[in-house]
Structure 1
Amino acid sequence: MLTGGPSSTESVNRGPFLTDVAVVGGGVVGLAVAWRCAARGLRVVVHDPAPGSGASRVAAGMLSPVAEAYFGEHELTGLLAASAARWPAFAAELTEAAGTGFGYRTEGTLVVGLTGDDLAEARRLWSYQRELGLPITPLRPSELRDREPALAPRVRGGAVAPGDHQVDPRRLVTALRTAAERAGATLVTGSVRALSELDARVTVVAAGCGAAALTGLPVRPVKGQVLRLRAPDGGPPGFRHVIRGYADGEPVYLVPRDSGEVVVGATVEERADTDVTAGAVLRLLRAAVDLVPELAEYDLVEATAGLRPGTPDNAPILGPLPGRPGVLAATGHHRHGIVLTPVTADLVTELIVSGAADPLLAPFTPERFAASAGPARRRRHG
């Protein structure tokens, strides 16, 4: 049972506290937790000075348990797959609760290599992913172009991950906020400088990089620069699948939206600034155009940078804080915040309501950082 927390919905609604659940952070994770908790009959207040303005705003929205599976991250891959499996039902329920869609698309993802060396690197990762039993199928160049004629003739080969989908995170924030407020949650647009300020039985820290100052957890900022293009004449992009690939050693992803937008990203930098640099824009655009040449004719409508909440092992921090009764962490999602939103919200809400910790939480609790953590591992893929 959660120390200092409720054992049932009935018990959480009693007592001297003004609020049952205070959620610190109004990104997709915090808003999803608020929605789930409010839907269970809890009194919920979300605290954020500018909801949706953090990592959620610059995220590409790829739901990629397969393409994001990396060497040595078996437990994280399992959590990604578990959350991705919840996304279809989560999307349907949220659409009904909010009364609006948010760009949930299921065409799948193509993973491609431009050169022989790029393809060799991609194949090495596919082999690992297939060993884990993940659904990814290699394709010949002709099969790739049958699926996406817009791909460059130079592309040497690739694979399809049919279960890797996408959403539009900016629209997702709007839908989650609407659903949470309709369920009875209250949004307070103010900063929280210390958790002691909050009068709540349970506090959920979903503040992204801000969780470090509030909790002492080893959450660090990882900078990512992202571009947004728009198809000419207001039409749809000339391709349907999410495309992830390597172009002369440069990793890049291309995410087409129904609105005509294409998201191009993203750098992975161990920095804490949000400056957009010419070099990053150049590298991303060169790689994008190498894979899909028509993008050279698209409008560049936005170049932005955000900060992902990284951890020493690249995995999220979920569960009760040792020595902090009634405080839960839901942070450190790094590049996986969007795909992990359903499972995070479900597991945290169930822990609050029933006190029961799902076995999925075990590898991701804050207790794993009780001893000093080693240096963070850097990922190659952007």
Structure 2
Amino acid sequence: MRVAVVGGGIIGLAIGRELLRRNADVTVYDPAPAGTGGAWHVAAGMLAPGGESAFEFPFLEPLLAASNELWPAFADELGDVGYDDAGTLSVALTADDLAEARREWAHQKLTTLTGSQARDLEPALSPRVRAGAFAPTERQVDPRKVVAALRRALNGRIVRRNISNLSEMEGRVIVAAGCGTATLTGLPIRLVKGQILRLRGEPGLLKHVVDGAADGRHVYLVPRADGEVVVGATQEERSDRAITAGGVHDLLRAALDLVPGLSEHEIAEWTVGHRPGTPDNAPIIGALNDRVIVAAGHHRNGVLLAPITARLVADLVLTGAADPLIDAFTPGRFGCA
């Protein structure tokens, strides 16, 4: 079967690779296959189904959990993608931060740690940290390495071409163009701006991903083996690409409040990107019509959901069978058949 995938971000590439593994004749169309403009390039790569599940969208949790279970094998197949399963330590600095965090920890069924217990796990934490909770099943990868590995797997099948109209495509088409999916399909996908920093210092300051709040400012700190620490991320309902003093200040202040030792790190990179959001902040996965399938709008969860999205979409294309996992995510929920 010949299949065209429109979009060469982490979702489109994962789908293309899965189809290729199942012997489909697949071509991925990407306007800039060596580019860095996608949400994946600025993503930290946290695989945190508990922390990313929103209370108001409980139907998203089974999908997140299912994809998280696929990641160990998925990462092993791709090779060196910075996979780390050390877990995530969530922390709270102030009494108000703790009151908010307790609600999330209870939702995840995590045991609350005292500040001292949290520092036993992560000695670099500030002595001001009041409490924490440890999520041992959460993981991380480096999305830039993941995309590079997926591109290698699809060598010779990625075509540099900007698709502006789906009517010019023949056969089965999968639209996985991130924020660009709105223009191609009319689906309500919006741009959600995120600013992110990368710091660099001696390796080993942090052992785990740290996800915390400091005086109401939320930040996550994702350590890499080479000494890089990803600090993210703002979430702004804006479409511009400006890196702002306020955004950088909020990220750095929260990061240094939680882990003072980061003050010695070099600012290696600051970047801005856009997450593809939907009205309910859940992805769109399913048939738009009898020829076009959509896999887009993954918002904050594109990296985490890449393996399960690839599997579910490949099943839909090759067998026509729609897994019940995607019943809540079809384009039809927005009035699109």
Which TM-score tier does this pair reach, normalised by the shorter chain?
Answer: over 0.9
In 2, the alpha carbon distance for the partners of 1:248 and 1:316 equals: 31
- What CA distance in whole angstroms lies between the structure 2 residues aligned with 1:50 and 1:248? 40
Secondary structure of the corresponding residue to residue 50 of structure 2:
coil
Contact kept in structure 1, 2:7 and 2:30, CA below 8 Å: yes
The structure 1 residue matched to 2:162, chosen from 191, 200, 213, is 191
Aligned match of 1:227: 197
User: Which of 173, 193, 199 is the aligned partner of 1:203?
Assistant: 173
In the TM superposition, residue 215 of structure 1 has moved relative to its aligned partner by: 0.2
What's the offset of the Cα at 1:269? 0.4
- Where 2:154 maps in the other structure, the secondary structure is helix
Q: Which amino acid in 2 is paired with 1:206? A: A
Match of 2:148 in 1: 174
Normalised TM-score (structure 2)? 0.97
Tell me which amino acid in the other structure corresponds to 1:190: R
Aligned-pair CA distance for 1:23: 0.7
Give the aligned partner of residue 279 of structure 1. Answer: 246
Contact 1:152 1:293 in 2 (8 A): yes
Matched position secondary structure for 2:23: coil
Aligned to 1:74, what secondary structure does the other structure show? coil
Q: Structure 1 residue 89: deviation in Å?
A: 1.4
Pick the aligned partner of 1:214 from 177, 181, 184. 184
Contact 2:78 2:146 in 1 (8 A): no
Q: Do residues 48 (structure 1) and 30 (structure 2) align?
A: yes
Structure 2: unaligned runs, 5 residues or longer: none
The alpha-carbon deviation at position 244 of structure 1 amounts to 0.5
Give the deviation of 1:137 after TM superposition: 2.7
How many residues align? The count is 334
State the shift of 1:259 in Å.
1.7
Q: 1:158 aligns with which of 128, 132, 146?
A: 132
Q: What whole-Å deviation, never above 9, does each CA across 1:247-273 have from its counterpart, x for those lacking one?
A: 000000000011211110101100011
* Shift of residue 277, structure 1, vs aligned partner: 0.4
Unmatched segments (≥5 aa) in structure 1: 1-11, 13-19, 96-100, 131-135, 372-382
Deviation track 1:20-55 (CA, whole Å, cap 9, x = no partner) reads: 111111111100000000111111111112235310
| Ranges of 4+ aligned residues in structure 1 off by more than 2 Å | none
Q: Which of the numbers 280, 286, 290 marks the counterpart of 1:319?
A: 286
Q: Say yes or no: does 1:117 pair with 2:96.
A: yes
**1:201-235 CA deviation, whole Å, 9 max, x = no partner?**
2111110000000000010000000001001xxx3
Instruction: Out of 326-335 and 119-128, give the one that drifted further.
Output: 119-128
Give the counterpart of 1:350 among 315, 324, 327: 315
The residue identity in structure 2 corresponding to 1:230 is: R
Which residue of 1 is the match for residue 207 of structure 2? 240
Instruction: Provide the rounded CA distance (Å) in 1 between the counterparts of 2:88 and 2:236.
Output: 24
Q: Deviations over 1:148-182 (max 9, x none)?
A: 1000000000100111100000011001111122x
Contact 1:67 1:161 in 2 (8 A): no
Structure 2 residue aligned with 1:267: 234
By how many angstroms is 1:143 displaced? 1.3
**Residues 323-353 of structure 1: CA distance to partner in whole angstroms, max 9, x if unpaired?**
x321000000000000000100000001111
Kindly indicate whether residue 25 of structure 2 is the aligned counterpart of residue 25 of structure 1.
no
1:94 deviates by: 2.3
Q: Match for 1:313: what amino acid?
A: D
Is the Cα–Cα contact under 8 Å of residues 32 and 180 in structure 1 kept in the other structure? no
1:85 and 2:50 correspond: no
- In the alignment, what sits opposite 1:71? 55
Residue 5 of structure 2 is aligned to residue 38 of structure 1: no
Contact 1:137 1:161 in 2 (8 A): no
* 1:74-106 CA-partner distances (Å, limit 9, x unpaired): 1111111111011111112222xxxxx110000
| CA drift at 1:196 | 1.5
Give distance in 2, aligned partners of 1:137 and 1:53.
Answer: 39
Query: Per the alignment, in what secondary structure is the counterpart of residue 225 of structure 1?
Result: strand
Q: Give aligned-pair identity as a percent.
A: 57
Aligned Cα root-mean-square deviation (Å): 1.1
Hey, what's the Cα distance between the residues in 2 that align with 1:156 and 1:70?
Answer: 24
Contact kept, 8 Å, 1:276 with 1:304, in 2: the verdict is yes
Contact 2:276–2:296 (Cα < 8 Å) also in 1: yes
